[in-house]
Amino acid sequence: MVNEISTKQLEKVIDSESHRIFDVRSVDAYNGWTLEGERRGGHIRGAKAIPVSWTDEENWDEIVRSKGLMPNHQIVVYGYTSDDAVEVAERFVISGYKEVSVYTSFVDEWAANESLPMERMERFEKLVYPRWVHQIVSGENPPGFNGKKYAICHCHYRNKADYDIGHIPGAIALDTLELESPDTWNRRSPEELEQALMRLGISADTTVVVYGRFSSPHSSDPHPGSKAGHLGSIRCGVLMMYAGVRDVRVLNGSIAAWGNEDYPLSTDELKLEPLSEFGDSVPAWPEIFIDTPQVKELLRSGNGNLISVRSWDEFIGKVSGYNYIFKKGCIPGAIFGNCGSDAYHMENYRNIDLTTREYHEVKGMWNEAGITSDQFNAFYCGTGWRASEAFLNAYLMGWNKIAIYDGGWYEWSNDPANPIVVREPL
């Protein structure tokens, strides 16, 4: 049976260990976007994200258990509409949870009352939703957009056909190799980055939205994720931030989210309009990347963490993770950052619908490993793609002392003078 709970009743149990609160709105609303005219963005303090769109997922029970829900917990569900809240509440009842309530006054009472506690992702506006992008494409000014220059980048790796078969209208094709070296997978030189961005028509004050296509990452191409454009799009976005593009945004859920809204795709190729000036010194944010000498100093000093955003089998040295990296193992002193199942997946940083994972959960995963925001944290993986996604998560949460070890395992393991540790499986 589903009951209804009032604002006063919810206030009394918000911090109770016996209750769990679930927000059934989109992850974008949960993160901080005000999508239905509410006075404040974000979610009720302590609430977990469980969008109504997930109710038909086969592993729904597993998803809610992963959010710390136990059989004895009393559940409160809220959303933008009572219908959505009731739908998810009834799904809890079907799963055997007995004490389930719906809260129907979130917009009118909770979000409207400044004294009631709410939370939001610190830099939520850098993670945009499909309607936000659609409004730009349609000539409108969505929230936070300055109405000036913009570029939408359909990112891929040596696979322009991925752009040709269908992209967001007005998007340009961006091969990741335009921004990173095909020999080392490191960032290109400042001069090369500046020229590449100007050729694309991107300057320091351009609002850039990056996205890619989710597809099978298993291929014969030598670079991980060669057809997994979403991961590549994040890599491109971080490289643009390093260069000096001041307003880089990522389409949450990438092109899959665009398709879920039934927005149209285009096969028309946008004609590039190159620029003669970038508008800032490149790199404008050099601190985003560190290189091998700085990594060695970090490990020697102990003034921060080097975080391996790799799979467990890579971390312990069971596999190298790549067909072009031959040495197995890990950099001594690195902390396990846990990307997912292998070098081609980042499922531990993503929701079931491929949107960015609830940030409280990412923070909790890191905190358990001893990774906290007050420390300097440098992320690395094989060649920088997965590390870029971890870096993005930290950046979105407002963490400021963060960087990427650009050379990663590829550069470290290629130098025979560098130490390597191989661990025994647990």
Annotated catalytic sites, by residue? 381
Nearest to 153 by CA among 136, 174, 134: 174
In angstroms, rounded to a whole number, what is the distance separating the alpha carbons of residues 97 and 69?
10
Which residue bears the tokens 């004490």?
A: 99
In angstroms, rounded to a whole number, what is the distance separating the alpha carbons of residues 279 and 277?
6
SS3 354: coil
Structure tokens at 54: 């997930």
Instruction: Give yes or no for a contact between 184 and 127, defined as CB atoms under 8 angstroms apart.
Output: no
Output Rg (C-alpha) for the chain, integer angstroms. Answer: 22
Report residue 244 CA to chain centroid gap.
20
Instruction: Give yes or no for a contact between 204 and 280, defined as CB atoms under 8 angstroms apart.
Output: yes
In angstroms, rounded to a whole number, what is the distance separating the alpha carbons of residues 378 and 256?
30
The C-alpha angle 407, 413, 414, rounded to 5 degrees, equals: 85
109: which DSSP letter?
I
DSSP string, 118-167: EE--TTGGGEE-HHHHHHHHTT---TT--SS-EEEEEEESS-THHHHT-B
Instruction: Give yes or no for a contact between 353 and 54, defined as CB atoms under 8 angstroms apart.
Output: yes
